[in-house]
Structure 1
Amino acid sequence: MPLVLEKAVNAHTTIGIWKIEEDEEAFRKGLQLKQHELDFIDSLGTGKRLIQWLATRRLLRQLMNTDEYIDCGMDDHGKPYLLNSHYKISFSHSFDYAAVIISDKNHVGIDIELIKHKIKSIKHKFLSDLELAQPQIGDNTNGLYVAWCAKEAVYKWHGKKGLEFKQHIHIKPFKLKNEGSLKVIAQLPTENKELDVNYFNTKDGYMVAYVSQD
């Protein structure tokens, strides 16, 4: 089974990481898809995007430990949600991996990214000068990916359009490790919110960050 990680991060929240090795047919056999979902995945074609979509839904089923149909929709902001369930969810995928976080209480967000050096060429687009001045970020590829994934996880946690990475999501100084946590300030329309974001670097070169908080 390509489930490489299933971890309870607190009493209410679980994350999972899936290495995508199956083909489309294998994923379809493991899912119950209704006509509107079949119509949607037909629109995706037959490439990587389709397989990643199927993988996140297969992983969601694993984390919820059910063989029943899971009615998963997308709201007007593009945030996934479950109809007829109190669980809150977030999806991410990158190349050969899919990631899902679920919680029966907290709002959640998750991001997974393959680490590439080219992130240095866009760092000024998502980081402020103060953030770039932090030595653990600066010109450090891993530090830049922690910052990117943390901001993406916070964006998904918020779940609404209009939150800009550089202007509204701010990374506080942290100690860079292979696995750790950091504080992030989100400037929301109604308040400034401090969030605890966890992250880890996988053995095969991916960065994962996630948040679970009200």
Structure 2
Amino acid sequence: MAIAYRQQIDDDTEFALWRIEETAEDLYKQLQLDDTEKAYTKKLSKSKRYLHWLGTRVLLRKMLGTDDYIDAKVDSHGKPYLVNQPYHISLSHSFDYAAVMISKTRPVGIDIEQIKEKVERIAHKFLSQRELDFIADDHKIQRLYVCWCAKEAVYKCYGQKEVSFADNISLQSFNFQHHDVLQAKLHKGNVDIDYEVGYMQYEDYMIGYVKG
């Protein structure tokens, strides 16, 4: 399938969604992989995680518009990066979708999650009491997913481990729209960074995305 959704953020930053309808074999044929990557994919077997890994790489290839080998690695904090391409990247996936964000100038972060009621049970784990207090009852589940996806996107953009969603990433109150922005801050020790995070609902998924 072709790209399901694509959004240009600015002149050198964009993100896109890919609905994974292909078989693993079909996706695999669209990639060039080195021996390490081939060995890694064998370990994933034929699970959904395997489809997700292949789907994000196929989408990345489409967005970069190249048939050449893409050398994508992961650093010590788990953040993906390109060895020989002048782009910052972020990858995400959830059920039937893969999501990729790229930028030539700044770090980026993207997260996609399928919207499910169970998020309400774990909200206290990723939101502070102040944030829980501003979650209104209307569109409550969507609001909670906006918060989760926004914090996950900020975490990925920052790109370092040992960050508490509840304690180190704070969100300002927002009015839920299906496509909007909210303000976020990452504060940890002497690190204090403000972010404007975009979010959107796409079918029964929520997407959060941010540029550093």
TM-score of the superposition, structure 1-length normalised? 0.96
The aligned amino acid for 1:116 is: K
1:206 alignment counterpart: 205
1:122 alignment counterpart: 122
> How much does 1:174 deviate?
1.2
> How much does 1:192 deviate?
1.2
1:143 alignment counterpart: 143
Contact 1:2–1:21 (CA<8 Å) still a contact in 2? no
1:59 alignment counterpart: 59
> How much does 1:137 deviate?
7.4
1:22 alignment counterpart: 22
Contact 2:135–2:144 (CA<8 Å) still a contact in 1? no
Deviation per residue, 1:12-48 (Å, 9 max, x gap):
2010100000011101111101111000111111110
Runs of 4+ in 1 over 3 A off after TM superposition: 135-139
Task: Indicate the percent of aligned positions where both proteins have the same amino acid.
Answer: 42
2:156 alignment counterpart: 156
The aligned amino acid for 1:15 is: F
SS of match in other structure, 2:10:
coil
Q: Distance in 1 between matches of 2:177 and 2:139?
A: 16
Contact 1:73–1:80 (CA<8 Å) still a contact in 2? yes
The verdict on how the C-alpha distance between 1:8 and 1:93 changes in structure 2, with shifts beyond 3 A counting, is same
2:186 alignment counterpart: 186
The aligned amino acid for 1:206 is: Y
> How much does 1:191 deviate?
2.5
Contact 1:136–1:175 (CA<8 Å) still a contact in 2? no
TM-score of the superposition, structure 2-length normalised? 0.97
Aligned positions, number: 212
> How much does 1:7 deviate?
1.7
Q: Distance in 2 between matches of 1:62 and 1:172?
A: 35
SS of match in other structure, 1:133:
helix
> How much does 1:206 deviate?
0.1
Give unmatched runs, 5+ long, in structure 1: none
